[in-house]
Amino acid sequence: MNSLTEARVSEVRAFNRFYTKVIGLLQAGMLDSPYSLTEGRVIFELAQAARMETGELRGLLDLDAGYLSRILARFETDGLITRERSAADARKQVVALTPAGTQAYAHLDRRSTEEIEAMLARLTEDGRRRLVESMAAIRTLLGSNARHQGYVIRPPRTGDLSWAAHRHAELYSEEYGWGTEFEQLVAGILAAFDPARDAGWIAEVGGERAGCVFCVHQDDRTAKLRMLLVEPSARGLGIGRRLVDECVRHAQSHGYERVVLWTRDCLTSARRIYAAAGFHLDSTEPGVENGVEVVEEMWSRDLRPTGSAAPPDA
């Protein structure tokens, strides 16, 4: 485990310890009740479904069959649930809350709402917004369906250019150690962006920015693909290829004869996307970024019909 990974693991563990204390998971009973967190979740799920097969409940909560059986046995003894054989399949058991079980759920639901309201009341409006957005981000990143989300591609709006500069600087610093000079470079690229003749696209996943690319004017015959980025959480969804395709289509529709781009050999995922989109490596030269040796690369794609004379180098 390298030092960066070790630091991240430590931070996640520290958050887990902090949050379990905040929501009272270390107490004997959940929300001033005689039920543990797991038991409370079983009651909650039964309240949402009215009637549920035990196998479905076990799969929903990812519980050991024996553990769930003991919980249900206790609930049945306490008069919180009824159990009966499924009419469709006698091998299966169906569980439902009794009126006492519904009352227990109502108590847990009310206490949970009160505690969360009290927690939010201690924060400013900006703090509440940041907390809820951060919790949504955790659910998105760690949820079982995170890799199956759709995405949208849209033109840039106010705030998107500064986001693109910030994320390029931050992400490439984290992943490759590139520093202030690279940040100044991307800031300069976006400062020169001319909406009257240039174009850009922002990818969104779940309403959050997840990627970008820009197609800028180099000369009357040549467009330049710049600043392709896909957030780590959105990689593998096909966003990078889609952004590159948008750039190429824009250049073709606006009469450019070719598209060029600059990249570095360490950006292997991006280089695969460029090659798949019909770009070819034209030249390389050594460089240095924040004290790190890199290989600069120039790629291009000819947009003219097959058989046309190749344009001179720009």
- Residue % of the chain over a pLDDT of 70: 92
Which of helix, strand or coil describes residue 241? helix
pLDDT tier for residue 168 given thresholds of 50, 70 and 90: very high
Q: What is the pLDDT of residue 171?
A: 92
Q: Is 153 left (phi over 0), alpha (psi -120 to 50) or beta?
A: beta
Q: What is the pLDDT of residue 313?
A: 47
In the chain, what are the domains?
A: 3-122 (1.10.10.10), 152-302 (3.40.630.30)
The 10s digit of each residue's pLDDT in 182-213 is: 999 999 999 999 999 999 999 998 788 999 99
CB 300, CB 247: distance < 8 Å: no
- The type of residue at 138 is I
The 10s digit of each residue's pLDDT in 54-72 is: 888 888 888 888 999 999 9
CB 213, CB 245: distance < 8 Å: no
Question: CA Rg, the chain, in Å?
Answer: 28
Average model confidence (pLDDT) across the chain: 87
Q: What is the pLDDT of residue 87?
A: 78
Q: What is the pLDDT of residue 285?
A: 94
Q: What is the pLDDT of residue 314?
A: 39
Q: What is the pLDDT of residue 27?
A: 66
The 10s digit of each residue's pLDDT in 73-125 is: 999 999 999 988 887 777 888 999 999 999 998 988 888 888 889 889 999 98
Out of 143-152, 170-179, 207-216, 293-302, which region has the weakest mean confidence (pLDDT)?
143-152
Query: How far is the C-alpha of 297 from the C-alpha of 277, rounded, in Å?
Result: 16
Query: How far is the C-alpha of 95 from the C-alpha of 57, rounded, in Å?
Result: 9
Residue partners of 208: CB distance under 8 A and separation at least 6? 137, 140
Among candidate residues 41, 44, 29, 36, the one with its CA nearest the CA of residue 97: 44
Q: What is the mean pLDDT of residues 157-186?
A: 93
Q: What is the pLDDT of residue 273?
A: 94
The 10s digit of each residue's pLDDT in 247-275 is: 999 999 999 999 999 999 999 999 999 99
pTM of the model: 0.57
Residue partners of 107: CB distance under 8 A and separation at least 6? 31, 33
Distances (CA, A) of 298 to 122, 187, 241, 257, 274: 54, 20, 18, 17, 11
Alpha helices by DSSP H, the chain: 3-22, 37-49, 54-61, 65-77, 99-121, 125-142, 160-176, 180-191, 239-253, 268-276
- The type of residue at 143 is G
Q: Flag whether pLDDT at 301 surpasses 70.
A: yes
Q: Does residue 47 or residue 297 have the better pLDDT?
A: 297
Burial of 102 (0-12, 13-18, 19+ CB in 10 A): middle
Q: What is the mean pLDDT of residues 228-247?
A: 91
pLDDT tier for residue 134 given thresholds of 50, 70 and 90: confident
Query: How far is the C-alpha of 74 from the C-alpha of 91, rounded, in Å?
Result: 21
pLDDT tier for residue 144 given thresholds of 50, 70 and 90: low
CB 52, CB 45: distance < 8 Å: yes
pLDDT tier for residue 312 given thresholds of 50, 70 and 90: very low
pLDDT tier for residue 148 given thresholds of 50, 70 and 90: low
CB 245, CB 212: distance < 8 Å: no
- The type of residue at 278 is G
